[in-house]
Structure 1
Amino acid sequence: MTSTGSLEHISQQDGLSDGRRRLRTFRFPVLLLAMIGVMAAVAGINQLVAPLPFLALPVGVGLAVAGVACYRRLCRTVEQRPVSELAKTGQWSLMRRGALLGFGAFTGLMLLIGMFGGWEDLSWGSFGGLIGTAGMMAGVAVTEEALFRGVLFRIMEERAGTVIALAVSSVLFGATHLVNTNATLWGALSIALTGGVMLSAAYVVTRSLWLPIGLHFAWNFTHAGIFGAVLSGSDTAPHGLLDTTLSGSSLLTGGTFGPEASLLALLVCLVPTVLLLRHAARTGQIMRRPRSVKVSA
């Protein structure tokens, strides 16, 4: 025989389980919309503190930490699972490797553009711009990776396999850059083929967001914070340590979209992307068919 209080308690537990079950059923749109909101909030705050570079650095780092915390909490609440892609084991090592790859890749791209005569002018810029850009790019790297690799790619891969998830998430990643002032269709496609595929490959090979976060941060920081080159079709060049003006064929320099739309960017990013995907295939990280994911209650 069960008391009325016990029946109410069981009913509450059943109701909670049903609610969690429904939440898991709609995990993709819930996580997608939530992380879009987080990314928009980070972008808005970055814009407010951008004129104050020595404030932008701590604020940006704080936003990056908050972005990681939001993603962890959302996944635990909506999917009721350990967030293994943000495991603390190997966190700094993976971010460091990603940062070295991102810095090396973009520096190599700029050197190649210079070797082929694409540099019109190179002068000193602003140390404050360097500092402020570091903060802003920290928040951008975390939230964009959490959205595109942590939510979009990860869940799509579970349903359709690695190849389809790689293609669709990369195209969507490139398409988001079409909203920029000087955006071009080729520029967005180039972003998809370079950044989108390379960052997804970095996730696939490690099953961790730390490597793509480090890679994404260093690529953007080297681009805007060090070289001060036009970034992804922005209407104004960023304030970096250097002021780099490019001129010449758009195939060489990327034109008004910036170096990311250069044909050389495709070649530079192709090498690490192929190596990462090749290693992922050898270690069995490529999902060739969908798999059912069991989420613990």
Structure 2
Amino acid sequence: MTTLSTPSSALQRVLAFPVTRIIIAFFCVMVPFLLVQGIAFKLLEHKSLVVKVCQFLGICCSYALYCYYVHKVEKRDVSELSHDNAAREFFGGAFIGALLIGSIMAVLAVLGAYHVNAINSPSVMVAPLIMHLTVGMLEELLMRAIFFRIIERSLGSVIALLLSALAFGAGHLVNDNVSVVGMATVVSTGLLLAAAYMNTGRLWMCVGMHAAWNFVQGGVFSAAVSGGTVHGLLESTFSGPDWLTGGAFGVEGSVLSLLVTAAATFVLLMRAKRNGRVVLPYWKRAA
């Protein structure tokens, strides 16, 4: 005779379902961020530095509510936001991100495709720095700490890598001046950031890498970032074919960016495999 499940056990099964957890976690992250951002937009000028500071504070609230979600729903310590080695991993990731985009810009300069016309005041980098740190924190919390992590625990690393990278790319389809190469680079970058998460099991390297990649593009070299124009430290112009410079989408639309991110992804994935960080899907673990 089959007994009916009690409501509590049924609720536990629903909460244990990966899609349910992704939806709840996304909700916990986006609500405080959008609430704080909406209030800031209502009371302040949209482009003011204070608004960007408020957005940063909003994502800090999102991190706090995400921790509450993990404790209450997943009932575990928030290891992905552990303070252990946080500074080292964040600045290490920032160094890698800056190095990758810096090497691309150096090649463009050597080829005569990037030209510096003037140097602006360093103060122009403050707003892009806050903005890209906020964007990096938000997107990494959503795409790596939530989407990738939850799928990986169920379906394994390979499927999680592919799905999270495609979702990351799909999220950029609404950007201005989208190009085929640009979208391929964004998907490759999604793989790169997921590979970084696999190597540490924490979010800090991903946030540092993501924020530095975007900030150095716009805040330093004044290149368009995923289709959005930014005025940074170096007042500059590009010349040459779009496949090399990236065109209006920015340097991410260059084949150089696609090659560099793909190579860096391969290195990190090999390192993750060597260190036993690749998770098998649940049916293989059961076997």
TM value normalised by structure 2: 0.86
Q: Could you say which residue in structure 2 is the equivalent of 1:151?
A: 146
Q: Could you say which residue in structure 2 is the equivalent of 1:247?
A: 239
Contact 1:227–1:242 at 8 Å: present in 2 too? yes
Aligned residues: 276
2:85 to 66, 86, 90: 90
Q: More displaced, 176-185 or 120-129?
A: 120-129
Change (3 A) 1:212 1:51: same
SS in 2 for 1:182: coil
**Partner amino acid for 1:290?**
Y
- Shift of residue 254, structure 1, vs aligned partner: 0.7
Q: Could you say which residue in structure 2 is the equivalent of 1:52?
A: 48
- Shift of residue 94, structure 1, vs aligned partner: 0.7
Q: How does 1:206-217 map to 2 (within 5 A)?
A: 206-217=200-211
- Shift of residue 36, structure 1, vs aligned partner: 4.3
- Shift of residue 262, structure 1, vs aligned partner: 0.6
Contact 2:28–2:62 at 8 Å: present in 1 too? no
Contact 1:232–1:258 at 8 Å: present in 2 too? yes
**Partner amino acid for 1:172?**
A
Q: Could you say which residue in structure 2 is the equivalent of 1:114?
A: 109
> Is residue 205 from structure 1 mapped to residue 217 from structure 2 by the alignment?
no
Change (3 A) 1:44 1:175: farther
Q: How does 1:154-173 map to 2 (within 5 A)?
A: 154-173=149-168
Q: Could you say which residue in structure 1 is the equivalent of 2:3?
A: none
Cα distance between partner residues in 2 of 1:123 and 1:250: 23
SS in 2 for 1:179: coil
- Shift of residue 183, structure 1, vs aligned partner: 1.6
Q: Could you say which residue in structure 2 is the equivalent of 1:11?
A: none
Q: More displaced, 179-188 or 153-162?
A: 179-188
Structure 2 unaligned spans of 5+: 1-5
Cα distance between partner residues in 1 of 2:107 and 2:173: 26
- Shift of residue 52, structure 1, vs aligned partner: 2.6
2:21 to 27, 31, 50: 27
Q: Could you say which residue in structure 1 is the equivalent of 2:273?
A: 281
> Is residue 227 from structure 1 mapped to residue 210 from structure 2 by the alignment?
no
Change (3 A) 1:37 1:65: closer
Q: Could you say which residue in structure 2 is the equivalent of 1:256?
A: 248
TM value normalised by structure 1: 0.83
- Shift of residue 17, structure 1, vs aligned partner: 7.2
SS in 2 for 1:129: helix
Change (3 A) 1:179 1:126: farther
SS in 2 for 1:178: coil
Change (3 A) 1:41 1:231: farther
Change (3 A) 1:123 1:69: same
**What whole-Å deviation, never above 9, does each CA across 1:2-29 have from its counterpart, x for those lacking one?**
xxxxxxxxxxxx9777655543442122
Overall identity of the aligned pairs, in %: 33
Cα distance between partner residues in 2 of 1:85 and 1:30: 17
> Is residue 183 from structure 1 mapped to residue 178 from structure 2 by the alignment?
yes
Cα distance between partner residues in 2 of 1:46 and 1:170: 31
